[in-house]
Structure 1
Amino acid sequence: MADGDKESFYRCFNAVYDDLYRLGIYLYRDQYLVQESINELFLELWKIRAKLTDVHNKQQYIITIYKRILYKTHAKLNTGAHEPVENIEEIPQLSQPSYEELLISAQTNDGIQQKLKRALTQLTARQSELIKMRFYEAMSYKEMAEKTSLTERTIYNTLHNALEVLRKHMYFFFSWV
């Protein structure tokens, strides 16, 4: 992965996603926050991949970065959300989801991932290529245009059409969730 091998990067993502997800849910109990933080973590790891060769304990290094990203994302999402409470009775009771609820949530996420994989097979080769560049490699429209020799407008339109295809194939699943 440190050498820029994308396949190794994807394998790493798949290998540690579930553990990072469980850790994030354990710490914050916020599915959206956890998913956003994992995505942000892997974008960050891709940016600093050359530095990873110097790290001795890569697992601890990744967990440390992940916890920082979780904290920063949580703080960003909750800016101004916590006002001082004057009366102790005003504090809402905190509830923690049961282990069974967390398992159901994780299985739902697995179902979403499987549905998305199936939906991705409905894209044309060009759409699939542009989706990977934009969302997996975090390339800008300008970078994509330079790499593919397409205009930015063509890329935008192709991505728009690809997302419509994905929405169409994902809609049925989300209507049941």
Structure 2
Amino acid sequence: MDDQAAFAELYQRFYAILYSYGYKVADNTALVEDAIQDLFVDIWRMRRSIALAQSVKFYLFRSLRRKIHHLDKQEQGLDFELTETSQSVSSDYSAEQALISQEQQSQLIDRLTQALAKLPQREQEVITLRFYQSFKNEEIAQIMGITEKSVRNTLHKALSHLREQAPYLAPLLGFLLWWLS
């Protein structure tokens, strides 16, 4: 496979997931699109000298986060928040039971999304990387430029805040976070 084909495949494979993550870091579509474009331009320019020690996904996420923060410093004044996530549910129940179940789950997800949006930006980012993108604590620490202990503490604080903000979700919180990932 030549460079152009490999680059096109990399772009097609990761653009959507990078955009989704980027939008959770910075709620500004233009900024995220610019950061992704800059990232892929840099990759193309340095394609012969890039040596990936970690996974490609890890490299792209860490690099995108840095690009977003760099562009954000240039623009200043961005508001950060998580975007809503919705998923459809398939079941073997009757159509009526499935609709009721889907509506209940949708309401729980909406409540969880609202609770997530109230978290500080750093806690939102840790939750996003851990549960939505399935990164390990060590990888999150490297992406965010903090210690692994800080990741654990931030994750613990975030989950505690979610339990406080939405006590009705406490029994389902673990399941919902797993289901959303």
- Give the TM-score taking structure 1 as reference length: 0.48
- Give the structure, 1 or 2, with the largest relative contact order (CA under 8 Å, sep 6 or more): 2
